[in-house]
Structure 1
Amino acid sequence: MPGPLAGLRVIEIAGIGPGPFAAMLLSDLGAEVIRVERAGAVRGAAPDKPAGDVSLRGRRNIAIDLKHPDGVATLLDLVGAADALIEGFRPGVMERLGVGPDECLERNPKLVFGRMTGWGQDGPYAHAAGHDINYISLAGALAHFGRAGEAPVPPLNMVGDFGGGGMFLALGVVAAMLEAKGSGQGQVVDTAMVDGTAILMTMFWSMKAAGIFDEQQRGTNLLDTGAHFYDVYECADGRYISIGSIEPQFYAELMRLTGLEGDEQFARQMDATQWPELKVRIAELFKTKTCDEWCELMEMTDVCFAPVLTMSEAAEHPHNVDRQTFIELGGVTQPAPAPRFSRTAAVVDQLPAHPGQHSREILVDWGVAADHVDALLTSGAVRHAE
């Protein structure tokens, strides 16, 4: 069986970061997604090998000149056959091109118009430039990543671009498409990375309200490396392990396997005044064995333990190999689609495409008459990578 979103058609207006990630997620789950590239991105014939960007997997590519009136008309024709469109320009850009929500919903009243920005479609910052690091700063997240006495540490661009951005865009578009099936009406989905990042912090707002998260003391709290039982530690061979022994029964197992059982100071697990000293002591202990030795002792126990792996190491770990968490496509190792479905399995059926690689076939498959396709390619409104 195809993925759970099979039968749905989505148009992706080419962008970077969270937009392509959302499009990849929708495609992984079975939607037919076409990526609309700038006509100027076509550079002659498409290379024989797949495009290098893994996030472009699973979808065909068409190149349209949206500054050409026939290019705009072509995109609106495709909109008429689509369930959703997603774009990641600054507010107002799609409107200036003549393919904003008003024009698209007039052509297809059931269309879901998904918008992806950093700051949102309105507000004082709406038209300002920004990147993940800025969005998670304003959302109140970045301030809390890092160790005590040190500057905040950006967590790659996973929190803003992908967690707070692309994931929420995909969720919002799926939710709106589901609603449109019943109501017959489309709508605009305003996805902002600052909004998504803020909601990812929900639990910490709860902890702050309960008085168990001090927002003024980075790196001193339960889950931000303040506690000795929730941190990463260096081993004798320079590799690292992770410990997350929060619950009493898991902490008791940590004490047993480290030989600290019965130590009166370690017995006061939740006495935060002891944490700095206990971190020093347990760090010294973990340096007495190699990572492999600690794995042999603690893996698959109730310590809440795992080795800290690089991407390459993760792809080769027996657990991930057994679950096929990573796959190889076009000679490139990459994460497999997630989550798993018991009946409608998600499958990647298209290698990352080059700009304009499928222009002609997309137009034909989406209902454009063959003679009109030829006219569009001749005029330059649409370009095909021969």
Structure 2
Amino acid sequence: MLTGLRVVEFEGLGPAPFAAMMLAEMGAEVVVIHRPGTASPVAGARNLLDRGKRSIVLDLKEPADIATARALVVRADALIEGYRPGVMERLGLGPDEMHAANPRLVYGRMTGWGQDGPRAPQAGHDLNYIATSGALWYAGAPGTPPLTPPTMVGDVGGGALYLVAGVLAGLIGAARTGRGTVVDAAIVDGSAHMMALLMSMMPSGNLSMTRGQSLLDGPHWSRIYGCACGGWLSVQCLEPQFYAAFLDRLGLADDPRFADQRDPAQWQAQSGALAAIFVERPLAHWAEVFAGTDACVAPVLRPDEAARDPHMAARGVWQQAGDGLAPAPAPRFDGAVRPVAEPPARGADSAAIRAELGL
């Protein structure tokens, strides 16, 4: 989809490399500017998020390497960086300088707190951003600390995916008008924006500011239950017909305790009764009970177990990558998964890229 587009990525952690990976998976030529050194401090020598990219090592403390970075950006369609506000400006690579040299450039900026505001210059991480944005509030049962979710909620969902959407929109605008833009993708903004789906439920009374009293975070039919083997089972049968199928498979269709699906006053007792049922049998038993039904029940799988799941295996969602697993690119276009090159060694393309730039 993006073949012919050039993107320059300044190496960072987490969401910015993820966004650049997605653009590479969609066909863009992505050149990542790696820092000097042999490995990422988090991902090691070969970062899965670098797959499909080309790599050049530049020391941005050296004027000659700054000039090389500038030459790359001048010929690019988009730039992605994840530094604190002001860093790129101090390097002479800020939006004003780069737009003067390349007016069509879409300048993608990834931060936690945003480019302005009282916390803009401060450090933070995924959990801090989603705590501040409100996105963490409904994670967990009432009376317990909010559950720390994986970085998908902030870094990826509220960060990388919003940066990708902004860059793509900017590219469309640049193609139409000839003018680039600056994309300010802040995790606090994106993770709060993702709350729009929940907030749309407030006028109908289905969302409460009290944890455990909303349509999706309190009911007995929207929970994780433990099984006899130590495994976990997800249940979320929202619609009445799916709830009926759920009760039917458990032999509880005529049990008066579960007749009222949507009475918050009964949710705690109903959840306790279901917990006592599920803990009597292993996860494999419950998976078989609900297999092929519309009861909206599914086992909670480890990634390696997910790779062996018949549905996930049929779609090729998980792939073996060296000693670990890697997810296939998403979304798919015309039903196909585009193959993506393995992550390059850091600096593997330095000589070739310099030659292309005439340096």
Distance 1:348 1:207, change over 3 A: same
Residue in structure 1 matched with residue 349 of structure 2 by the alignment: 358
The CA deviation at 1:330 is 3.5
Map 1:357-376 onto structure 2 (within 5 A).
357-364=348-355, 367-369=356-358, 372=359
The letter for the 2-side match of 1:23 is A
AA aligned opposite 1:362: I
Separation in 2, partners of 1:140, 1:88: 23
Which whole-Å CA distance do the structure 2 matches of 1:345 and 1:257 have between them?
36
Cα deviation for residue 343 of structure 1 reads: 7.0
Q: Does 1:36 align with 2:25?
A: no
Report the AA paired with residue 357 of structure 1: A
Aligned-partner SS, 2:234: strand
C-alpha contact 2:38 2:45 (8 A) present in aligned 1? no
| Cα distance in 1 for residues equivalent to 2:312 and 2:52 | 22
Could you tell me how far apart the structure 1 residues matched to 2:335 and 2:286 are? Answer: 39
CA displacement, residues 237-293 of structure 1 (integer Å, 9 cap, x when unaligned): 221111111101001111111000111221111111111111111111112322111
Determine which of 301, 306, 323 is the counterpart of 2:298. 306
1:211-239 CA-partner distances (Å, limit 9, x unpaired) = 22221x22343212x11111111122221
Question: Partners of 1:42 and 1:130 in 2: how far apart?
Answer: 26
Q: Could you list the per-position Cα deviations for residues 17-61 of structure 1 after superposition, in whole angstroms to 9, with x for gaps in the alignment?
A: 1011111111111111010012x3258xxxxxx944211211111
Q: Deviations over 1:139-184 (max 9, x none)?
A: 1111221111111122122211110001111111111111111111
Deviation at 1:118, TM superposition (A): 0.7
Say which SS state the counterpart of residue 61 (structure 1) adopts: strand
Corresponding letter in the other structure for 1:11: V
Distance of 2:164 and 2:313 partners within structure 1: 27
Provide structure 1 residue ranges, at least 5 long, that are not aligned to the other structure.
44-49, 373-386
Mapped pair 1:341 → 2:333 = yes
Which stretch shows the higher mean deviation, 75-84 or 111-120?
75-84
Native 8 Å contact 1:147 1:220 kept in 2: no
Greater relative contact order structure (CA < 8 Å, 6+ sep): 1
Inter-partner Cα distance in structure 1 for 2:142 and 2:293: 30
Cα distance in 1 between the residues matched to 2:294 and 2:118: 49
CA RMSD across the alignment = 1.6
Paired residue type of 1:113: Y
Distance 1:161 1:102 in 2: 27
Distance in 2 of aligned mates of 1:36 and 1:209: 48
Match of 2:93 in 1: 99
Relative distance call for 1:344 and 1:269 in structure 2 (3 A) is: closer
Cα separation, 2, equivalents of 1:343 and 1:297: 31
Instruction: Give the C-alpha shift of residue 331 in structure 1.
Output: 4.4
Secondary structure at the counterpart of residue 311 of structure 2: helix
Structure 2 residue aligned with 1:54: 48
Report the alpha carbon displacement of residue 73 of structure 1 after superposing the two structures with TM.
1.6
- Given the alignment, which residue of 141, 148, 155 partners 1:154? 148
Q: 1:14 aligns with which of 5, 8, 11?
A: 11
Matches of 1:343 and 1:78, distance apart in 2: 34
Aligned runs of 1:134-145 on 2, under 5 Å?
A: 134-145=128-139
Q: What's the counterpart of residue 70 of structure 1? A: 64
SS at match of 1:143: coil
Q: List per-residue Cα deviations over 1:103-150 (Å, max 9, x = no partner).
A: 111111111000001111111111111111111111111122111111
Structure 1 position 247 matched with structure 2 position 239:
yes
Q: Paired residue for 1:47?
A: none
- 2:251 is aligned with 1:264: no
1:192 counterpart (151, 164, 186): 186
- Which amino acid in structure 2 is aligned with residue 300 of structure 1? G
The aligned counterpart of 1:25 is 22
